[in-house]
Amino acid sequence: MPSADVLSDRLDLVGLREIDLTLGMGATYLDVPVTTAIRYFSRDWLRAYTKADPDHLFFAQGIGDSQSPTILDSDLLLIDVSQNHLNLHDKFWAVAYGQMGAVRRLRGKPDGSIEMLCDNPLVRDDVAYDGELHVIGRVVAIVRKL
C-alpha cells in the first residue's frame, strides 16, 4: 500500500493544516492550546481561491455571528497567511486584537487607524489604532455545511 505522501503526489493533492483554533466572529482568546490535523485537497481546487504556496494556508473554524449572514457560526475558513498586510479594503481578515482572535472586514483610514467592520448590523464595528491590530492572514474561502 503506498504511503499518504506517494498517493497525494499521484493525485496532485496538497496537505493543509487544519488548526483547532477557533477564530471568533465576536472574538476568542488566542492563548489556548492549539492542535493541528492535515487534510488533503486538490491543488486545482486551492488555485481557485489563492495562488499562495500551500505552506502559507491553513483552515480554522469561525464561531459567532458578527459576520452573519456572510460567514456563519462554525464555517470553516481558508486563511492565506502570506497576505498579512492590509492591502485590500473590505475583505475578510483573520486578526489578533487585544489578545483576541477575530474575523473582520478591514478598512484602513487616512489617519492610520483601521476600521474593523461587522456584516451583522446588530454587532458594533470597532476601530484599531497605532499597532493594536495584528493581521494573521486573509480569509480567501469559506467552507460550509448545508
Domains and CATH numbers, the chain: 4-143 (2.10.109.10)
Contacts of 44 (CB under 8 A, 6+ apart): 12
Q: How many CB atoms lie within 10 A of CB 50?
A: 18
Residue 26 has pLDDT above 60, yes or no: no
Q: What is the pLDDT of residue 114?
A: 97
Q: What is the pLDDT of residue 131?
A: 86
What average pLDDT does range 65-77 have in this prediction?
A: 92
Cell of 106: 478591514
Per-residue pLDDT of 130-143, as tens digits, reads 889 999 999 999 99
CB of 93 within 8 A of CB of 81? Answer: no
Residue 27 has pLDDT above 60, yes or no: no
Contacts 24+ apart (CB under 8 A), 57-60: 57/16, 57/17, 57/81, 58/16, 58/17, 58/18, 58/19, 59/16, 59/17, 59/18, 59/19, 59/143, 60/18, 60/19, 60/21, 60/22, 60/23, 60/94
Strands 57-63 and 13-24 turn out to be parallel
